[in-house]
Structure 1
Amino acid sequence: MTQIPAAVQKKITVLNQHNEKLVGVLHDTGSTEMVVLCHGFKSSKDFNTIVNLAVALEKEGISAFRFDFPGNGESEGSFQYGNYHGEADDLHSVVEYFNGANRKVMAILGHSKGGGVVLLYASKYHDVHTVINLSARYILEKGIARRLGEDFLEIIKKDGFIDVKNRAGY
């Protein structure tokens, strides 16, 4: 049985298109091929599911990078509800960073809202051919109106996001 060397975890900061710092943790197994992990709604790179996925990948000798979207965890920027397009662009900044650092992002994996982000990413950018959607919602209207108000879709269409931190009832 071949022993896989232990991964080294390194904190890495990537600048997005708005010069906001996206903070993440690279689980470096020494492999130049890697998977980027995307967290869900109001979550972070330190959510158990994301950490466990990174550890499972490193046990297989696969490098992984888990990071915080803007306004989540340690990353700069404002938290925004419904900002799938912006988060797909943030993910693109991460992919470009690693591809430019002599690594190859072979897959992107998103959990919950991150699953929606990776699907949108795949439809917009065509540079990562393996896309894994883990438990993403596909009908966003159901259940959200009671938390965000009946006008939430109109606000998202108009502004591109909803401010849930300052929204009554959330």
Structure 2
Amino acid sequence: MATERITFPGHSGVPLSARLDLPSGPVLATALFAHCFTCSKDIPAARRIAGRLASMGIAVLRFDFTGLGHSEGEFANTTFSSNVADLIAAAQYLAGRDMAPSLLIGHSLGGAAVLRARAGIATIKGVVTLGAPFDPSHVSHHFDAAMPEIKAKGQAEVCLGGRPFVIGRDFVEDIQAEVLTPAIQELNAALLVMHAPLDDTVSVDNAAEIFTAAKHPKSFVTLDEADHLISKARDAEYAAEVIAAWAGRYIDLTPPAPPPGAPEGVLRITEADPNGFLQDIQSGPHHHAYADEPQAYGGTNRGMSPYGFVSAGLGACTSMTIRMYARRKGWPLDSVSVDISHDKVHAQDVLPSGPAKIDQFIRTIRICGPLSQDQRDKLLEIADKCPVHRTLEHSSKVLTTLEEEHSMM
């Protein structure tokens, strides 16, 4: 995944700081991410969700609203409506790059903002909210104690998350006047509501109200034990996987035709954890898996090892080949299962210290059904003709090139 650092003009013309997370391969769709109240584009949830979606072929633009993070402007002069206008400006920037967004994702107050912004972005086909309030004025509880000063003086400095912010009267009046129900009812896009039932910042009742107000197609997915900020990596990754799978029903994520010589397309593997060994494996828009190492070798055991995938390919190919032959012959084969064991440990072989040895795969095949002995013998013979078996038995050549690093400014 490559991350491009960019700026674009916000609603008032001041530069807004953004990151555009790009897939390693073709861009199948583009999403626009709105962060939570007084947060930034770089909070862990935004970074992790954007990274996971990018690994699945969905580019993600995440930016700091006016006056926050690295964006210019005065936060004290912003409102909920100006945040919505910033989202529309971001969509216009993307459209100017021929990357018009088809997906809006909003976290907390950003979720309320994307519900309102949808009407101003014609290309949107799906909207996702994460821990979003049904009533934007919900955020005012963060600075209840300062409300008298805000009303009397027009603004007040409050401490939010350990940082000082100046909240203006216009912001308070704007969120108090905002009613999301009409925007939700007229969304004219698929809606995915995601919320943690244990969220003690924005109650899950808000998700129920958003979901009830929306028309179909709409979906609700619980984030189980996640906190409001979705701070745990596993919760953010789960959210990203659900978003990508859900979006595929409403957004065309069909990859371009594979290059000559790669009839099944390019299998893309991207490092997911630079501190461990977890790898994202993506095959087209719909097939995703993890590769990892066991915990004993420094991994997190969240996926099969590389050798495990080799064994899986042999076993799956064997079963498919037997089924294909029996089906063509019309033989009464009820079921097939294959056990594969391999006498190597990938983590031990990464740094070879001795002479190379021949790999040995032990394959046990079970075929059930009223088959004759001749038929069973023939199916055993056919198993040795499976394409993966033949590939493993013959020498293969791996041609490797190193792609030049492209600087993203």
Query: How would you bin the TM-score normalised by the shorter chain?
Result: 0.7 to 0.9
Q: Distance in 1 between matches of 2:143 and 2:43?
A: 26
Cα offset, 1:130, TM superposition: 1.2
**Distance in structure 1 (CA, Å) of the matches to 2:120 and 2:30:** 20
Cα displacement (A) at 1:148? 3.2
Cα gap change, 1:50 to 1:61, in 2 (>3 Å): same
Aligned pairs (5 A) from 1:2-151: 7-29=1-23, 30-31=26-27, 33-80=29-76, 83-139=79-135, 140-141=137-138, 143-144=141-142, 146-149=144-147
Per-residue deviation, 1:56: 1.3
Q: What SS is found at the alignment partner of 1:17? A: coil
Shift of 1:80: 3.9
Q: Which runs of 5+ in 1 are unaligned?
A: 1-6
Aligned residue type for 2:141? G
Query: TM-score, length-normalised on structure 1?
Result: 0.79
For residues 126 and 47 of structure 1, the distance between their equivalents in structure 2, rounded to whole angstroms, comes to: 28
For residues 45 and 61 of structure 2, what CA distance do their matches in structure 1 show?
13
Distance 2:67 2:134 in 1: 23
Shifted more, 119-128 versus 98-107: the winner is 119-128
Q: Secondary structure at the match of 1:24?
A: strand
- Given residue 148 of structure 1, which amino acid in structure 2 is its aligned partner? A
Structure 2: gaps spanning 5 or more residues: 159-164, 168-409
Equivalent-residue separation in structure 2 for 1:17 and 1:143 (angstroms): 27
Relative to the length of structure 2, the TM-score reads 0.35
| In structure 2, distance between residues paired with 1:60 and 1:166 | 39
Contact 2:91/2:121 (CA < 8 Å) preserved in 1? no
Number of residue pairs matched by the alignment: 155
Instruction: Spell out, residue by residue over 1:103-123, the C-alpha distance to the aligned partner (whole angstroms, 9 max, x if none).
Output: 120111010110111011124
Q: Which moved more, 1:28-37 or 1:18-27?
A: 28-37
Question: What is the alpha-carbon distance in structure 1 between the residues aligned to residue 113 and residue 76 of structure 2?
Answer: 13
Distance in 2 separating the partners of 1:132 and 1:81: 27
Change (3 A) 1:138 1:31: same
Q: Classify 1:33/1:163 alpha carbon distance in 2 versus 1 (closer, same or farther; 3 Å).
A: farther
Inter-CA distance 86–166: structure 2 relative to 1 (3 Å threshold): closer
CA pair 166-92 structure 1, distance change in 2 beyond 3 A:
closer
Deviation at 1:34, TM superposition (A): 0.6
- Larger relative contact order, structure 1 or 2 (CA cutoff 8 Å, min sep 6): 1
Cα distance in 2, alignment partners of residues 163 and 118 from structure 1: 27
Letter in 1 for 2:98: N
TM-fit CA distance, 1:143: 2.9
Tell me if structure 2 keeps the 8 A contact 1:24–1:65: yes
Post-superposition Cα deviations, 1:15-58, rounded to whole Å, max 9, x if no partner, equal: 12311111111111130621011111111000111111101101
- Secondary structure in structure 1 of the residue aligned to 2:141: coil
